[in-house]
Amino acid sequence: MAQDVLNALTLGSLYLLFALGMSLAWGTIGVLNFAHGSIFMFSAFGAHLAVQAVPLPMPAMIAIGVGIGAVLSLAVQVLAFEPIQRRAADAHTAQLQIIVAGIGIAGIPLAVAQYVTRSVPFGYSAGTFEVTVHDLGPVRVTDVQVVILVAALGIAGLIAWWLRAARAGLALRAIGVDAEVAAMMGVDRRRLALLTMAVAGGLAGLAGVLLTYHLGSIAPETGDAFLLKAFAAIILGGVGSIAGVVIGAMVLAGIETLVLVTTSGTWAPAIAFGVLFAMLLVRPRGLLGRMEVRRT
């Protein structure tokens, strides 16, 4: 039982790390970035290429992954999303075009990684870090699991605090509520949008590297599967709410783990998404949608 709870928390933390960046960008600057999964995978892949050349420790790998994720995300914002936002007739049209552009852009890093790896899984076995397993009474926990749990919950707390207490965070929330009014109040929307996308990309990179350490290897297509789960977690928790994403990710992972433990496992995705669907019928804005009013 304790082991199952730990496994569910780890899975939920992985969903959370992935979903945090998506949620931040969607809930504040209105960018639903469907290239997030590709950035997540390509950051991990970039770190893999680096470790093949030079044996690196885990902190260096994380730094590389975060850096690649941030740069890729910034590039997507500057080269694709900003021009769309400038040219679109209205905000709603821009959001739809950004979704389509994100789906299209996602194919590029995926194709590159598939071409280089031939879709064979890749990992960090050439690095200096080795996963250690600890027996703590009834549970077995790896050091990577501990890092994932601390990173996911710590970063979620940090972002939630920053959005509520820091001046820049408050400005970002103001953009989420009404971008035009925020601009009239002196908020530099472009600068904050770039910062948000860089943070979102960096979080994707962090999640990609940690997931690769946790699983031992990932495939180029791994990002696609996580994108769907993260999207579900955000919708369940309530768009734009950091606390909602935390709850959404943990509930999704909890249901999946419960189904796996109590049934043959075949129905895990169907039951998990069925429960989500039923919950959204009752609370269309997500679990914390009403409490958070509009945006974080």
Partner 1 sequence: MRGTRWLRAAGALLIAIGATACTAPGGQAGAPAGASGGGGGEGLPPTIKILSTRALTGPVSFAGINAQKGIDLAVERIAQDGLLGGSTLEIETKDVAASTQEAASAASQAIADPSYAAILGPEASAQAAAVSPIAQSAGMPVVYVQAGSEGVLVGDYTFRVTPPAQSYFALVGAHLAGKGVRTASVLFNSGNPTLVELGQKAVPALGEQHGFQVVGSAGVEVTAQDFTTAASQIAGQGPDVAFLMLTGPQSPVAITQLRQAGFTGEIVGMSAMGAGNLAPAGEQAAGAIWPTNFTATQAAPTSQEFVRAYQAKYGGEMPNNYAAEAYDAVWFIARGIARANSVDRAAVQQGLAAIAAEGFAGAQGDITFDGHDARVPGVLVRWDGAGEAVLEDGTP
Chain contacts with partner 1 (rule: CB under 8 A): 3-4, 7-8, 10-11, 14, 111, 114-115, 118-123, 125, 131, 133, 140, 142, 211, 214-222, 224-226, 257, 260-261, 264-266, 268-269
Tokens of 140: 């077995």
Closest approach of partner 1 to the CB of residue 217, in Å: 3
Phi then psi dihedrals of residue 123, to 5 deg: -150, -165
Whose Cβ is closer to partner 1: residue 163's or residue 253's?
253
- Helix residue ranges per DSSP H, 118-221: 143-165, 167-177, 179-184, 189-215
How far apart are CB 3 and partner 1 at their closest, in Å?
5
What are the Cα distances from residue 128, in Å, to 52, 57, 81?
Answer: 11, 5, 38
User: Cα–Cα distance between 221 and 54 in angstroms, integer?
Assistant: 25
Residue 4 CB, shortest distance to partner 1, in Å, is 6
Q: Alpha-carbon dihedral of residues 61, 66, 71, 74, nearest 10 degrees?
A: 170
Q: Which is nearer to partner 1, 67 or 269 (CB)?
A: 269
Name the residue nearer to partner 1 (CB basis): 93 or 132.
132
13-41-141 Cα angle (round to 5): 35
Cβ closest to partner 1, residue 177 vs residue 219: 219
Question: Closest Cα to residue 148, out of 5, 4, 9?
Answer: 9
3-class SS shares of the chain: helix, strand, coil, % to 5: 75, 5, 20
Nearest distance in Å: CB 273, partner 1: 11
Gap between the terminal Cα atoms of the chain: 34
> Quick one: 168 or 268, whose CB is closer to partner 1?
268
Helix (H/G/I), strand (E/B), else coil: 123: strand
Smallest distance from the beta carbon of 94 to partner 1, in angstroms? 30
Burial zone of 11 (CB within 10 Å; 0-12 exposed, 13-18 middle, 19+ buried): buried
CB of 276 to partner 1, least distance (A): 15
Tokens for 264? 């043959």
Tell me the longest C-alpha to C-alpha distance in the chain: 61
161/277 with CB nearer partner 1: 277
User: Nearer to partner 1 by C-beta: 223 or 289?
Assistant: 223
Token pair for residue 174? 């103001």
Closest contact distance (angstroms) between CB of 201 and partner 1 is 21
Using the minimum distance from each CB to partner 1, give the nearer residue, 52 or 95: 52
Q: How far is the CB of 101 from partner 1 (least distance, A)?
A: 21
